[in-house]
């Protein structure tokens, strides 16, 4: 009986139904309750042995079995195995295939001393199965950088207060060489997340085609299998380095295998060796991580030649994209609406935008030194960043023409105008400028007071200011009331006449020269 358990009677039926009845392979399989593969196998063996239907009378079942018995496989033990370590390494190079490697292998050996392509592929697959799961993955050099944080944290003690902060460990691993970078930060928040990426690119000395992060909220605003949404700052940083992010798919463990293995190795080979040490600053912790990381990257592989560092130098470094001329400067984005005074508020300070954008919502890019405002991705304003809460940063070109004219007024100009009218007018203007938190707050009152000159003339305005000062009512509204009621022509109260005759001269009267 053949090795697959098929009786000779069934084999005869296969031949009869095919050649005599003309049934298809699938129909024969259905009639005899066997697989299509078995039908195909015995029809091929019969064709190879020259057996047709009907069978010759002198061909008994033993003779038929002898003819159909497949030949034993040739003794392959005399053919040396290919160098599958080198094959595995070459497959990581872009464009290299098993077909190409087999052709090179066949050209280097005579026909009797090399395996067929199918046998070559089967033997390679068997060899690859004996590697660790991490090494079994095939990644193109320079293609991906996997990033994540370790689960365990490292305590850092404040030597002054005794406060303990848990440092997070960021890990970045290159796909093809497993070359690894790690550092400690105090948080996993956006500023630390971005800065760790920047330092990782600097450590590798180049940029990969894709960054593969887990769905950390700092970088991925919305985790989605097909269209994940990145935070704007993260996307801007990746664009600066001419790369992109391919977040792992939710609930797909295989996507995370590479980085999780890298994280596990850092935990075992770096953090485990630091567990008995005490750190008093983040700088000290990173200084301790750096040499251990160097040992890890130079540690020889168990089942492959070389180390992470040698694989990186041979495979990845030559194909990494160059770093940009300038490292990315961290920036945050927020939305802000231009108020009625054409300013947007950022951290308690007010920055101007063109007055035509009043009530429009703008995108604001915030760095350590600069505030930039954008409308529809077009920059409309830029300011140096200020930490003066309640202050204003205003660009003249952003103001309406009427507001620009107001900027031309100064305290000295108001005082010189007042002096041309008379000393009492000067004193009243000085009072309006002095008794406000800031001189500019009195500009409107001074302008309103001095403009009364056109309506009532210099002499009447001077007399009205003298009377207002004598009555201790130094305001524009008091002067206007005196003029409208004609009280400026009335004599001053006798008790106050003498004091009012002379201009007020005391230490609080600054004079025009003060404002020059």
Output the DSSP codes for 277-341.
Answer: --BSSHHHHHHHHHHHHHHHHHSBPSSSSSBHHHHIIIIIGGGSBPPPSSPPPP-EEEEEE--TT
Q: What is the spatial distance between Cα 16 and Cα 43, in angstroms, rounded to a whole number?
A: 11
Per-residue model confidence (pLDDT) at position 324: 93
Dihedral of the alpha carbons of 378, 381, 384, 387, in degrees to the nearest 10: -100
Per-residue model confidence (pLDDT) at position 196: 93
188: tokens are: 């996993």
Per-residue model confidence (pLDDT) at position 3: 52
Compute the Cα dihedral for 228, 229, 234, 239 and give only its sign: positive
Per-residue model confidence (pLDDT) at position 481: 92
- Other beta carbons less than 10 A from residue 251's beta carbon: 8
**Long-range contacts from 397-403, C-beta under 8 angstroms, 24+ separation:** 397/354, 398/342, 398/352, 398/353, 398/354, 398/355, 399/342, 399/352, 399/355, 400/355, 403/355
Q: Check if the beta carbon of residue 416 is closer than 8 Å to that of residue 384.
A: no
Task: Determine what percent of the chain falls in helix, strand and coil, rounding each to the nearest 5.
Answer: 50, 15, 35
Per-residue model confidence (pLDDT) at position 138: 61
Phi then psi for residue 373, to 5 deg, are -110, 135
Q: What is the spatial distance between Cα 478 and Cα 467, in angstroms, rounded to a whole number?
A: 9
Q: Check if the beta carbon of residue 504 is closer than 8 Å to that of residue 498.
A: no
pLDDT one digit per residue (tens) for the chain, 516 residues: 555 556 777 888 888 888 877 888 888 888 777 888 888 888 888 888 888 788 887 777 777 777 776 544 544 456 777 888 778 877 766 667 888 888 888 888 877 677 888 888 888 888 777 765 444 456 788 888 999 899 889 999 988 888 999 999 999 999 888 899 999 999 988 889 999 999 999 999 999 998 888 766 655 654 444 344 577 888 889 889 998 888 765 545 554 556 677 788 888 888 888 888 999 999 999 999 999 999 999 999 877 778 999 989 988 999 999 999 999 888 888 899 988 778 899 888 889 999 888 889 999 998 878 999 999 889 999 999 888 888 888 888 887 776 555 556 678 888 888 999 999 999 999 998 887 655 555 776 888 888 899 889 999 999 999 999 998 889 888 999 999 999 988 888 665 444 444 444 444 444 444 444
Per-residue model confidence (pLDDT) at position 376: 87
Q: What is the spatial distance between Cα 374 and Cα 460, in angstroms, rounded to a whole number?
A: 54
What are the sequence ranges of the domains in the chain? Answer: 8-68, 76-130, 144-319, 332-401, 409-515
Q: Check if the beta carbon of residue 271 is closer than 8 Å to that of residue 152.
A: yes
pTM of the model: 0.51
Per-residue model confidence (pLDDT) at position 223: 43
Per-residue model confidence (pLDDT) at position 500: 42
- Judged on CB neighbours under 10 Å (0-12, 13-18, 19+), 462 is buried
- Cross-strand bridge partners of residue 213: 147
Domain boundaries 144-319, corresponding CATH code:
3.30.420.10
Contacts of 191 (CB under 8 A, 6+ apart): 330
């Amino acid at each position: 009986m053949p090795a697959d358990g098929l009786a000779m009677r069934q084999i005869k039926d296969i031949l009869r139904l095919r050649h005599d009845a003309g049934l298809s392979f699938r129909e024969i399989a259905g009639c005899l309750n066997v697989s299509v593969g078995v039908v195909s196998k015995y029809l091929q063996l019969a064709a190879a042995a020259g057996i047709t239907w009907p069978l010759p009378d002198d061909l008994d079942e033993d003779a038929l079995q002898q003819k159909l018995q497949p030949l034993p496989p040739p003794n392959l033990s005399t053919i040396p195995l290919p160098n599958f370590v080198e094959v595995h390494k070459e497959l990581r190079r872009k464009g290299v295939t098993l077909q190409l490697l087999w052709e090179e292998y066949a050209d280097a050996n005579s026909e009797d001393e090399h395996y067929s392509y199918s046998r070559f592929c089967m033997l390679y697959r068997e060899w690859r199965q004996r590697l660790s799961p991490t090494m079994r993955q095939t990644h193109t050099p320079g293609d991906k950088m996997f990033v994540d944080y370790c689960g365990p944290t490292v305590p850092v003690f404040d030597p002054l207060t005794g406060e303990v902060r848990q440092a997070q460990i960021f890990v970045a691993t290159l796909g093809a060489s497993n070359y690894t970078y790690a550092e400690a930060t105090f948080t996993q928040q956006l500023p630390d997340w971005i800065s760790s990426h920047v330092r990782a690119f600097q450590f590798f000395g180049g940029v990969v085609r894709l960054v593969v992060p887990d769905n950390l909220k700092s970088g991925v605003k919305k985790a989605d299998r097909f269209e994940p949404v990145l935070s704007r700052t993260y996307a801007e940083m990746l664009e600066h380095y001419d790369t992109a992010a391919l977040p792992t798919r939710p609930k797909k463990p295989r996507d995370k295998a590479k980085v999780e293995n890298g994280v596990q190795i850092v935990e075992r080979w770096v953090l485990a060796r630091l567990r008995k040490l005490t750190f008093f600053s983040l700088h000290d912790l990173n200084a301790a991580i750096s040499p251990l990381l160097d040992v890890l990257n130079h540690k020889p592989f168990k089942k492959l030649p070389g180390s992470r560092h040698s694989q990186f130098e041979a495979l990845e470094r030559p194909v990494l994209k160059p770093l940009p001329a300038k490292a990315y400067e961290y920036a945050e984005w927020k939305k802000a609406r231009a108020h009625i005074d054409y300013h947007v508020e950022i951290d308690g300070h007010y920055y101007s935008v063109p007055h035509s954008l009043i009530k429009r919502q703008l995108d604001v890019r915030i760095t350590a030194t600069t505030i930039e405002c954008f409308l529809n991705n077009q920059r409309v304003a830029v300011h140096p960043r200020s930490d003066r809460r309640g202050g204003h940063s205003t660009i003249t070109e952003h103001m309406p023409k009427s507001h620009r004219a107001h900027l031309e007024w100064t305290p000295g100009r108001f005082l010189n105008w007042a002096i041309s009218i008379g000393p009492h007018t000067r004193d009243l203007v000085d009072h309006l400028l002095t008794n406000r938190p800031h001189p500019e707050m009195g500009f409107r009152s001074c302008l309103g007071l001095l403009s009364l000159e056109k309506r009532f003339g210099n002499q009447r305005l001077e007399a009205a200011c003298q009377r207002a000062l004598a009555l201790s009512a130094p305001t524009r509204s008091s002067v206007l009331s005196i003029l409208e009621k004609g009280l400026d022509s009335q004599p001053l109260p006798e008790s106050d006449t003498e004091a009012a005759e002379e201009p007020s001269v005391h230490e609080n009267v600054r004079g025009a020269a003060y404002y020059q």
